[in-house]
Structure formats: C-alpha cells, structure tokens
C-alpha cells in the first residue's frame, strides 16, 4: 500500500504541476523546485509533511519583456499539500471502490499527515 500511495502522490504532483503551469507560473516554478529537492517517490509521506511545514512565500513574476510590470504571487505550500491529498484520494477512489482498502489507506494517510502537522505546529498549554 505504501508504494501505491507514493505512486498516487507522484501522479498527483504531476497533475498539479501541469495545472499550475497554466494558472500560476510563479507557483509552478516554486513547486517544481520543491519537488526537485524532495522527490515524492523517494520521500513518501515526508513529501506531504515537508509541504505542510514549508512557509508561505511571496514571489514576483515579470510580465513584460521590459521588466516594467510585476505581479506578486503568494505561494502557499500547505494549500498545495491539501490539493495533492485531495487529488490522490480521488484517484484512489477511482481505481478502487469508495470503501475499498486502498481508498481507506489513503484517507488514513491524509488524516495522519494533517494530525502530525497540527501537533507540530500548534502550541497546547499544559495548564
């Protein structure tokens, strides 16, 4: 199941990259660099956790050849992670049944990644 989840994650990354190339070149470039540094097939769930931990950044894209016009894009890695988890969940349901073992495994994996992220990023008082 882990290998299948890695494959679904990698395929979801490919789909998201192709969408971003059409909608937000700056985000696509940032995400492409992240993927190059953290290959989803090698890192597995750590790829998603790394995206969830990454800080949002602002990047500028030069729109004209003269460099006169710029627009700033906010790159939200946690939003990208959410889109990947939703895509791989949909793909798991498409290749199995909605309540099949693969779909359940991916759903549990997604919840585990979100729970891990919330535990590490939220401060809970001991009082």
Q: DSSP assignment of 35-97, as one string?
A: HHHS-HHHHTHHHHHHHHHSPPEEEEEE-STTS--EEEEEE-HHHHHHHHHHHHHHHHHHHS-
Token pair, residue 121, equals: 């990023």
* 67-106: pLDDT as tens digits: 555 566 889 999 999 999 999 999 999 998 878 899 999 9
Q: Is the dihedral of CA 29, 54, 81, 72 positive or negative?
A: negative
Q: Is residue 80 part of a domain?
A: yes
- The CATH number of whichever domain residue 108 belongs to comes to 1.10.1200
pLDDT reported for residue 61: 57
| 96 SS3 class | coil
Q: Is residue 126 part of a domain?
A: no
Q: Is residue 127 part of a domain?
A: no
φ, ψ for residue 65 (rounded to 5)?
-70, -25
Q: Is residue 64 part of a domain?
A: yes
Token pair, residue 9, equals: 């994650």
Q: Is residue 12 part of a domain?
A: yes
* 15-59: pLDDT as tens digits: 999 999 999 888 999 999 999 999 999 988 899 999 999 998 887
Token pair, residue 94, equals: 């498409």
Q: Is residue 85 part of a domain?
A: yes
What's the domain range around 47?
2-121
pTM of the model: 0.83
Q: Is residue 16 part of a domain?
A: yes
Instruction: Report the domain count for the chain.
Output: 1
pLDDT reported for residue 62: 44
Q: How far apart are CA 113 and CA 127, in angstroms?
A: 27
């Amino acid at each position: 199941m882990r290998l299948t989840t890695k494959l679904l994650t990698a395929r979801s990354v490919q789909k998201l990259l192709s969408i971003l190339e059409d909608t937000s070149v700056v985000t696509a470039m940032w995400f492409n660099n992240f993927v190059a540094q953290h290959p989803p097939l090698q890192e597995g769930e750590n790829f998603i956790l790394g995206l969830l931990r990454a800080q949002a950044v602002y990047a500028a894209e030069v729109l004209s050849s003269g460099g006169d016009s710029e627009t700033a894009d906010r790159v939200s890695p946690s939003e990208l992670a959410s889109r990947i988890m939703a895509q791989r969940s949909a793909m798991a349901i498409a290749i199995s049944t909605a309540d099949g073992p693969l779909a359940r495994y991916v759903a549990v994996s997604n919840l585990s990644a979100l729970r891990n992220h919330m535990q590490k990023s939220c401060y809970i008082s001991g009082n």
